[in-house]
Amino acid sequence: MTTKIQVAAVSKAFGNGVPALGPIDLDVAERELVCLLGPSGCGKSTLLNIVAGFLAPTTGRVLVGGTPVTGPGADRGVVFQEYVLFPWLTVAGNVEFGLTLKGVTAEERRRTTARYLEMVGLRAHAEKFPVQLSGGMKQRVAIARALANSPAIILMDEPFGALDAQTREVLQDELSRIQRVEHKTIIFVTHSIREAVYLAERVVVMTSAPGRIKQVFDIKLADIRDRFAPEFTQYEAEITRVVKEEVAKVHE
């Protein structure tokens, strides 16, 4: 498959000179969903922010479609754990915000917004404001907004981490369904091993800081996954063992 994202010898050290990440080498194929897992502080979000263009690497580089990343770009949509919605805009206004900046016509904005609100099950709530929404609904708006801008890549930093368990599983189902339709290239940061196995085609387990790649798991399961299938449970057990090795190092 065509490589969409290439992380080449990327490392990051912050102002105190202490290395936080790397070096990391990772290729993500076009239309692939890759999950990053690892102990707290291992650099998962740092790596995601480097791919997004929000942070510059200390060494190495990131290529998207063969072009070096030098900053944020419309080809990369980002969904954070915090909902980051504009409180003064309606649901529809939030989703079409980026389209307005791009100069898309009002008719096309309405059509695109309606499509993605329908996709995330929020078309009936288009005229509500964020304060009127639950946490799960706010995150659906954030996902719809990212999709509406038609990025080739979506970067998701623990987008369901603040939600209750039931809502989290519902949104995992939604994202899995949307991915089967939209076929985006997605890097998804999570602390949940079960979430990673449910969503990903590959799970990348990172070491404790400075974060490096410890092991990569190819998840060979059906597109529509059963969380209680023996094969699913086996992946969970294998990945849990590897993650626990790194968590133990943090507490040594």
The stretch 163-176 carries a mean pLDDT of 91
Return the pLDDT at 59: 95
- Residue 102 vs residue 33, higher pLDDT: 33
Spatial neighbors of 219 by CB under 8 A, at least 6 apart, are 197, 200, 201, 202, 203, 235
Return the pLDDT at 39: 86
Task: Specify whether the CB–CB gap between 62 and 50 falls below 8 A.
Answer: yes
Sorted by where each begins, the domain ranges of the chain are 3-75+152-250, 86-150
The stretch 91-115 carries a mean pLDDT of 92
C-alpha distances in angstroms, 87 versus 93, 96, 128, 129, 135? 10, 14, 10, 7, 13
Nearest by Cα to 137 from 191, 95, 182, 199:
95
Task: Specify whether the CB–CB gap between 215 and 202 falls below 8 A.
Answer: no
Return the pLDDT at 190: 95
* DSSP collapsed to 3 states, 105-117: CHHHHHHHHHHHH
What CA–CA distance (Å, rounded) separates 7 from 5? 7
pTM, full prediction: 0.93
Can you tell me which residue has the tokens 């897992």? Answer: 37
Helices (H) then strands (E): counts for the chain: 8, 10
Structure letter (DSSP) for residue 207 = P
Return the pLDDT at 63: 97
Structure letter (DSSP) for residue 223 = S
Mean pLDDT of all residues belonging to the chain: 92
The stretch 48-66 carries a mean pLDDT of 96
pLDDT bracket for residue 252 (50, 70, 90)? low
Q: Per residue in 202-224, pLDDT tens?
A: 999 999 888 999 999 999 999 99
211 φ/ψ angles, rounded to the nearest 5 degrees: -65, 125
pLDDT bracket for residue 251 (50, 70, 90)? low
Return the pLDDT at 46: 94
Return the pLDDT at 226: 95
Return the pLDDT at 51: 97
**3-75+152-250: which CATH number, 3.40.50.300, 3.40.1050.10, 3.40.50.620, 1.10.268.10?**
3.40.50.300
The stretch 117-131 carries a mean pLDDT of 93
